[in-house]
Amino acid sequence: MAKMIGMIGTSHIPAIGRAVDQGLEETPYWVDFFEGYKPMRKFLQEEQPDIAVLFYNDHGLSMFLDKKPTYAIGCAPQYDNADEGWGVKVIPPLTGETELSWHIVNHLIENDFDPTVCQDIKVDHGATVPMSVLYPNHSYQGVKVIPIAINCERHPMPKPSRSYAFGKAIGDAIRSWDSDQKVVVLGTGGLSHQLDGERAGFLNTDFDQMCMDKLVTDPEFICQYSNDDLTRIAGAQGVEWAMWLAARGCFSGPVKEIERRLVAPISNTASGLQLLLPA
Amino acid sequence: MSDNQMPEGTYKFDGDMATLGYNLNKMCFTFNEEESREAFRQDEAGYCDKFGLNAVQKEAILKRDIITLLRNGGSIYYLAKFAGVLGLNVQDVGGIMTGQTTEEFQAYLDSQRVGKPNG
């Protein structure tokens, strides 16, 4: 039985990748934010997870509107990054874990979730920024990654409650995998922000703090919100709470919060960082 | 459907909008590649025509009118790639959409500051 060691919630915006590229981590704008990664990096160094199950959303690198999955799971031996059009450096490939990927797919379909199965996808900043920032200097070669994408671009999007249930089913699958490997779960994106329209720049850090509280004690509380609710309360891209909910769903029992940080503004977002361990 | 109960200044990218904006978004999707970015820079209007943008979308591209692009089916994910071609970051785009300078838009973001004792 694979061991689920914990969940890390993290932003994934390109500006973070750029800040890492340009060595800006200690500058006044960024220092409070990157300080939050120190305990996350220490946790990963000490625990040495074998596998990272990474919930993200593709922003138009591999998954254009022509064929855009609602949920998609990577089942590839390797995931390349590529140019996304705005000058963030392409990072070395992530290594996949096909055996667990297929185990998750088999379990999901047997349990009435029907994701798109991807044997060859590129991953964008949604996946690469978290790996870059959690594993400095691209030191992620020792961890295998299973990217799981949730549509956060085009409505209709899966309901937050569905993404939480999806995460629960994935957690069940991981726990039923006959292996002694250690798995960390990454929920990425968010938190409150709105990139588009005259309402651009809207944040709601009170809501973010409340949801981070609830993620620890009562994640189902967050499932009451629809995507339209999240748009109103947390901005149009507040729907990225889906990935945090899916990640939290992977843990069946109580969790304890080890670290939390909410920093705003980071680029156009309120950026959350949270480390939760099984209690 | 679109804008149904949405806050003012919010454009819900749903099926109707995705249908309206498909060609526009498809064009901006090509900006993932430098070759396409360069082809656009060489002949912006011709590049729009190649992808079948309608007259409103084409004019909005040429004028960098992001709000009109959003109202005509543009997805912010692909418009961000358009902004990348122009060398604009998301604060620049925020300023354009809200009728402010980049500095004014940044000041609005900063007015919502939390957790930044050093910044």
Please identify which of the residues A12, A103, A107, A125 carries the catalytic annotation: A12
In this prediction, residue A219 carries a pLDDT of: 98
Outline where A153-236 has alpha helix (H).
Answer: 160-175, 205-217, 219-222, 227-234
- Domain range summary for chain B, segments of one domain joined by +: 15-87
Whether the CA torsion A150, A152, A155, A156 is positive or negative: it is positive
CA A116 vs CA A71, A168, A240, B49: distances in Å: 6, 18, 19, 33
DSSP track, B45-64: HHHHHHTT--HHHHHHHHHT
Question: Is the model's pLDDT at A37 over the cut of 60?
Answer: yes
pLDDT digits 0-9 by tens, A58-94: 999 999 999 999 999 999 999 999 999 877 789 999 9
Question: Is the model's pLDDT at A193 over the cut of 70?
Answer: yes
What letter represents residue A150's amino acid? I
How is residue B7 annotated by DSSP? P
- Is B19 an 8 Å CB contact of chain A? no
Q: Number of CB pairs < 8 Å for A and B?
A: 152
Average confidence (pLDDT) over A212-240: 98
pLDDT band at residue B2 under the 50/70/90 scheme: very low
- The backbone torsions φ and ψ at residue A278, rounded to the nearest 5 degrees and listed phi first, read -55, 135
Sequence length of chain A is 279
- Is B39 an 8 Å CB contact of chain A? no
Question: Which residue among A28, A155, A263 sits closest to B12, beta carbon to beta carbon?
Answer: A155
In this prediction, residue B4 carries a pLDDT of: 55
Chain A residues close to B32, C-beta within 8 Å: 60-61, 82-85
In this prediction, residue A1 carries a pLDDT of: 83
- Domain range holding A44? 3-278
What top-level class would CATH report for the domain B15-87? mainly alpha
Between CA B94 and CA B40 the distance in angstroms is 23
What percent of chain B stands above pLDDT 70?
A: 97
Outline where chain A has alpha helix (H).
Answer: 14-21, 28-35, 37-47, 98-110, 125-134, 160-175, 205-217, 219-222, 227-234, 241-249
Domain count, chain A: 1
Question: Is the model's pLDDT at B1 over the cut of 80?
Answer: no
Please give the model's pTM, rounded to 2 decimal places. 0.97
pLDDT digits 0-9 by tens, B91-105: 999 999 999 999 999
Question: Is the model's pLDDT at B3 over the cut of 70?
Answer: no
Whether the CA torsion A217, A220, A221, A223 is positive or negative: it is positive
Residue A154 is part of a domain; what is its CATH number? 3.40.830.10
Outline where B1-119 has alpha helix (H).
Answer: 15-20, 22-29, 34-42, 44-50, 55-63, 66-71, 76-85, 90-98, 102-110
Residue ranges of A 217-276 with Cβ closer than 8 A to chain B? 228, 231-232, 236, 261-265, 267-268, 270
What ipTM does this complex have? 0.95
Question: Is the model's pLDDT at A5 over the cut of 70?
Answer: yes
